[in-house]
């Protein structure tokens, strides 16, 4: 198990086939930027995938294992509309509703039927009709156009939702899941946003990441307590957050660094409200931190800040939201990685901040930064 085994991810049903997406340019940008443990990927305006940062397992998709502090094109991927960075692997979906994955594959998370790393993108032959993809630590999931889901990769905690503890290097059906419109994959769990505004989660639950009021894991989806009008869902390694129609944010699970944003560092097995947060337009969870774009403008982050991933100019952990300093325009979307974060402005410019030892900030250096830096040469 590696140091960072996390990550996010929320993806509304759209991405590949233009289905039931949230409307507007901000919703489109949400599908075009993603951060992994030590790498970042973006879909450019021309539909090409560019990635930068850590690459020992091929997660940049450029055919090498060399880190890159500047954006580098992924090889052989057709025009795509969504990219998602897992801990050490990456997936995308294209205009023909097909999923592609590459990078670290020790658990079968690339979905190619093997456990061999892929240095360039691999097109999954099944499932077809993919609407969106989500990536976690050692597993991946796809949301299909018929509102069902499939997952693949490691499954020691039941995070594939297949009803078995056995992993799979090819996609398996998620059983007993109501019609879903979004997926989020974390460290050892997965979650879905249901079309009635409720949420369901499955897998590991040691710290309450399933949000059902217990710390007992389960291998099939089960309802999250108290979530009734959610519009988005996102997951870190062991915490999950949901955004409501009114712009409120509720989080649950691990809270050792304040990543739930409730003003404490107490783990929560059921959702608690993020305090002192104006209505949010979008949310994103990193390994142990969380960020939100406000409806009124600006980005707020909270949680772990050891490398400056909260973007407030300090290295101080925060248990309630603080403003990201120095974004020069109107932010449309924010994403969280292992120890870094990135935002896309409404004009498509990308800025990143936090850890940068592998070049994951994309600014040509390997120096950490607690404030945002422009990623040159990338426009979403």
| Number of neighbours of residue 329 by Cβ within 10 angstroms | 13
Distances (CA, A) of 136 to 91, 133, 176, 182, 254: 11, 10, 21, 14, 16
pTM of the model: 0.94
Q: Residue 162: in which H helix or E strand, if any? A: none
Q: Tell me what pLDDT residue 202 has.
A: 98
Question: What pLDDT tens digit does each residue of the chain (380 aa) get?
Answer: 333 333 333 333 334 643 333 444 566 788 999 999 999 999 999 999 999 999 999 999 999 999 999 999 999 998 999 999 999 999 999 999 999 999 999 999 999 999 999 999 999 999 989 999 999 999 999 999 999 999 999 999 999 999 988 999 999 999 999 999 999 999 999 999 999 999 999 999 999 999 999 999 999 999 999 999 999 999 999 999 999 999 999 999 999 999 999 999 999 999 999 999 999 999 999 999 999 999 999 999 999 999 999 999 999 999 999 999 999 999 999 999 999 999 999 999 999 999 999 999 999 999 999 999 999 999 99
Q: Which residues of 107-119 are buried (b: 16+ CB within 10 A; e: fewer)?
A: bbbbbbeeeebbb
First to last CA, the chain: 33
Report whether the peptide linkage leading into residue 12 is cis, meaning its omega lies within 30 degrees of zero.
no
Strands 280-285 and 289-294: antiparallel
What one-character DSSP code corresponds to residue 274? P
Cα separation, 33 vs 42, in Å, equals 4
Helices (H), strands (E): how many in the chain? Answer: 1, 29
| Number of neighbours of residue 369 by Cβ within 10 angstroms | 21
Q: Tell me what pLDDT residue 217 has.
A: 97
Q: Residue 318: in which H helix or E strand, if any? A: strand 318-323
311: nearest Cα among 341, 285, 334? 341
Q: Tell me what pLDDT residue 26 has.
A: 67
Distances (CA, A) of 252 to 172, 272, 290, 372, 375: 27, 6, 12, 28, 32
Distances (CA, A) of 110 to 87, 98, 159, 161: 12, 13, 15, 17
**Sequence-ordered list of residues with C-beta below 8 angstroms from that of 165, at least 6 positions apart, any chain:** 155, 156, 157, 158, 219
Burial of 175 (C-beta count, 10 Å sphere; 0-12/13-18/19+): middle
The domains located in the chain, with CATH, are: 11-379 (2.130.10.30)
CA 314 vs. chain centroid, Å, equals 24
**Sequence-ordered list of residues with C-beta below 8 angstroms from that of 24, at least 6 positions apart, any chain:** none
């Amino acid at each position: 198990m590696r140091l960072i085994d996390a990550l996010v991810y929320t993806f509304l049903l759209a991405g590949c086939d233009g289905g039931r997406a949230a409307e507007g340019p901000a919703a489109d940008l949400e599908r075009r930027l993603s951060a992994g443990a030590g790498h970042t990927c973006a879909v450019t305006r021309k539909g090409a995938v560019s990635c930068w940062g850590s690459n020992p397992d091929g997660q940049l998709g450029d055919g090498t294992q060399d880190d890159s502090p500047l954006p580098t094109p992924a090889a052989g991927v057709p025009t795509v509309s969504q990219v998602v960075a897992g801990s050490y692997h990456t997936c995308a979906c294209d205009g023909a509703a097909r999923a592609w994955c590459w990078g670290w594959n020790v658990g079968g998370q690339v979905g190619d039927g093997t456990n061999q790393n892929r240095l360039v993108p691999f097109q999954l032959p099944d499932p077809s009709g993919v609407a969106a993809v989500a990536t976690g630590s050692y597993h991946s999931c796809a949301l299909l156009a018929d509102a069902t889901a499939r997952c693949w990769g490691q499954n020691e905690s039941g995070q594939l939702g297949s009803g078995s503890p056995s992993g799979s290097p090819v996609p398996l059906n998620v059983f007993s899941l109501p019609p879903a419109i979004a997926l989020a994959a974390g460290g050892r769990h997965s979650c879905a946003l249901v079309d009635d505004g409720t949420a369901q989660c499955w897998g590991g639950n040691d710290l309450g990441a399933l949000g059902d009021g217990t710390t007992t894991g389960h291998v099939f989806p089960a309802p999250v307590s108290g979530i009734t009008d959610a519009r988005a869902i996102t997951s870190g390694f062991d915490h999950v957050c949901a955004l409501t129609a009114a712009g409120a944010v509720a989080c649950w699970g691990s809270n050792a660094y304040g990543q739930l944003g409730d003003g404490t560092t107490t783990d929560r097995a059921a959702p608690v409200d993020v305090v002192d947060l104006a209505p949010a337009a979008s949310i994103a969870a990193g390994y142990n931190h969380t960020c939100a774009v406000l409806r009124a403008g600006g980005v707020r982050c909270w949680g772990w800040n050891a490398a400056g991933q909260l973007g407030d100019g300090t290295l101080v952990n925060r248990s309630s939201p603080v403003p990201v300093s120095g974004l020069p325009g109107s932010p449309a979307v924010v994403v969280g990685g292992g120890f870094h974060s990135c935002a896309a402005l409404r004009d498509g410019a990308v800025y990143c901040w936090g850890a940068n030892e592998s070049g994951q900030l994309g600014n040509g250096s390997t120096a950490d930064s607690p404030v945002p830096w422009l990623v040159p040469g990338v426009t979403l």
